[in-house]
Amino acid sequence: MIEYVVLSTFCLTVTWILYRIVLSHLHSFTFNRIYLLLCLIIAFGAPLLTFEITIPTQMVPVVSNHEILGNDLKGTGSGSSLSGEGGSAIPVLLMIYWIGVLVKLIRLTNSIRNIASRIKSSEIQSVGNSKLVLLNEPTPIYSFFHFIFVPADRWRNHKIPVQILEHEQAHQHQKHSLDILFIECLGLLFWYQPLLYFFKRAIRMNHEFLCDRSVLRKHRNVALYQQLLLAQIVKGRSFPLASPLNFSLTKKRFLMMKIESISSVNFWQKFTSIITLFAVALICSCTLTDPQKDAVTVPPVPGEWTNEVGMDVPAPPPAPKNDFLTTQLLNKWQDASEYAIWVDDKKIANQTLASMQPKDFATFRVLGHVDDPVSRVDLYSHAYYEKHLKSEFKGKE
């Protein structure tokens, strides 16, 4: 979980910095919209994908079988206490996370319910493909999908300019409400991620750029359009899911209203952004794997192993004596986060041990590596031992 949060934060940080430095000042608003949405999809999706890169390493056993077996038989060591202390925080963190999700879900549900209530309780008129919801209260003009919410008195008195109506219709035609719903759902699941706020604001600001451009392509008088926007500023309540007309009437938004030319599109800036975005996605989805985990598939050659630091690791027990194998050990080995189980040189699921008994096996061994938190447990049935192992260890019996 921690690794996922770190990788998604890294991806969001890099792509946000790139957007602010390279793309935010361009008039390529459609491209910016796609880029910002892709950043969110990749940031939260790429860490869930896994592309393994294997780096060859020398496999060196460094802990003796008897040492590991001793720890297993004790069952109460310092490692167990440390694990218990660290694990006690997990339920608390999960509880905090789900409380945050619940709070965000309630807010999102209330917002949708309030919009639906306004639609249901207000007069509705059709204008082209849009549905005008006439509200009997002073309110900023805003839209949600094909619904445009306007003050009823201003609409009936023809005080809403056509440019303002076309601005909200542009939100509808370009389906900006889908973007807002998408990022609100991400905010519900990843409420702990502060960078989402910056992406949400950038996406909504870019929506306004797109709508302003759509209006100004038809009505070329930029100064008049800006005056109309300023005249529409009304204090009132809107909703997080809505697209309010007066969202961030900043100096930057007015500056971005200048008539663009074809030369303003910078191909190389877009190309660099896309390459960087997918490079970050690749970095977040790649993991390094240790071949030592799966390289050992057969019992070692009889005798003794010697590691790089000179520690002797004894070979497996030569005789089929499993006096130390107990039901308690079999139950303990069912933990896949600490043990990998092999029966007769074949890897099995840890849960399979639940249906087995100590008497089913002639002998066993436990192996581990310093760099590998998962210990390997080899169990040998009576038939396998008689056929493959007994003759090899005959001289040691």
pLDDT digits (tens, 9 = 90+) for 320-362: 555 578 888 898 899 888 899 999 989 999 988 988 988 888 8
Q: Does any domain span residue 322?
A: yes
Whole-number pLDDT of residue 298: 46
Q: Residue 13 pLDDT > 70, yes or no? A: yes
73's CB contacts (< 8 A; 6+ apart) are 324, 329
Distances, alpha carbon 391 to alpha carbons 296, 310, 384, 387, 397, in Å: 21, 29, 11, 8, 10
Helix H, strand E, coil C: the string for 248-261 is CCCHHHHHCCCCCC
Residues 238, 92, single domain; the answer is yes
Residues 264 and 314 in one domain: no
Q: What does each C-alpha distance from 315 to 73, 294, 330, 392 come to in angstroms?
A: 19, 19, 22, 11
Q: Is the same domain home to 279 and 319?
A: no
Decide which of 374 and 108 is more confident: 108
Contact 377, 342 (CB under 8 A): yes
The answer to whether 218 and 162 have CB atoms below 8 angstroms apart is no
Are 132 and 148 in contact by the 8 Å Cβ rule? The answer is yes
Is 357 within 8 Å of 327 (Cβ atoms)?
Answer: yes
* Helix/strand/coil for 374: strand
**Amino acid in position 349:** A
Residue 314: CB atoms within 10 A of its CB come to: 13
- Select, from the ranges 88-97, 157-166, 281-290, 354-363, the one with the highest average predicted confidence (pLDDT): 157-166
Quick one: pLDDT at residue 71?
46
Give domain status of residue 375, yes or no.
Answer: yes
**pLDDT attached to residue 82:** 42
pLDDT at 192: 94
pTM of the model: 0.64
Is 363 within 8 Å of 317 (Cβ atoms)? yes
| Statement to judge: residues 237 and 202 lie in one domain | yes
Mean pLDDT of 279-298: 64
In tens, the pLDDT along 113-156 reads 999 999 999 999 999 899 999 999 888 899 999 999 999 999 99
Assess whether pLDDT exceeds 70 at residue 303.
no
| 108 in Cβ contact with 184 (< 8 Å) | yes
How many folded domains does the chain comprise?
3
| 300 in Cβ contact with 315 (< 8 Å) | yes
Q: How far apart are CA 166 and CA 155, in angstroms?
A: 14
Among the residue ranges 25-34, 88-97, 155-164, the one predicted with the least confidence is 88-97
By C-alpha distance, which of 325, 324, 377, 335 is closest to 80? 335
Is residue 148 classed as helix, strand or coil in its secondary structure? strand
Q: Domain check: are 36 and 102 in the same one?
A: no
Sign of torsion, CA 357 360 366 367?
A: negative
Domain span at residue 327 reads 295-396
The CA-atom distances, in angstroms, between 188 and each of 180, 198, 272 are: 12, 15, 31
**pLDDT of the residue at 190:** 96
C-beta separation of 316 from 378 below 8 A: yes
Same domain, 236 and 113: yes
Q: Same structural domain for residues 314 and 390?
A: yes
DSSP, collapsed to helix, strand or coil, labels residue 159 as coil
For residue 91, is pLDDT > 80?
yes
Q: Are residues 219 and 265 in the same domain?
A: no
Alpha-carbon gap, residue 290 to 309, rounded angstroms: 20
Over its C-alpha atoms, the chain yields an Rg (Å, rounded) of 32
Same domain, 274 and 132: no
Place of tokens 């002797």: 312
Confidence class for position 182, pLDDT limits 50, 70, 90: very high
Q: Pick the last residue of a domain from 248, 281, 303.
A: 248
112 and 230 in a single domain? The answer is yes
Q: pLDDT at residue 206 above 80?
A: yes
56: left (phi over 0), alpha (psi -120 to 50) or beta: beta
Strand residue runs (E) in 40-141: 51-54, 123-127, 130-135
Q: What is the per-residue pLDDT for 25?
A: 86
Rounded CA-CA distance 123/368 in Å is 73
- At 326 the pLDDT is 87
Query: In the predicted model, what is the mean pLDDT of the chain?
Result: 80
Classify residue 74: in a domain, yes or no: no
Q: Is residue 73 part of a domain?
A: no
Q: What is the C-alpha to C-alpha distance for residues 42 and 12, in angstroms, rounded to an integer?
A: 9
Residue 8's identity, in one-letter code, is: S
Higher-confidence position of 199 and 72: 199
Question: How large is the average pLDDT for residues 1-8?
Answer: 88
pLDDT at 282 over 90: no
Q: What pLDDT is stored for residue 271 in this prediction? A: 84
Let me know the angle formed at the C-alpha of 211 by 210 and 217, rounded to the nearest 5 degrees.
Answer: 90
Report how far apart the first and last C-alpha atoms of the chain are (Å, whole number). Answer: 49
Higher pLDDT, 229 or 59: 229
- Residue 80 vs residue 229, higher pLDDT: 229
Residue 63 domain-assigned (yes or no): no
Tokens of 339: 């043990």
Q: Exposed, middle or buried, 357 (CB in 10 Å: 0-12/13-18/19+)?
A: exposed
Could you tell me if residue 67 is inside a domain?
no
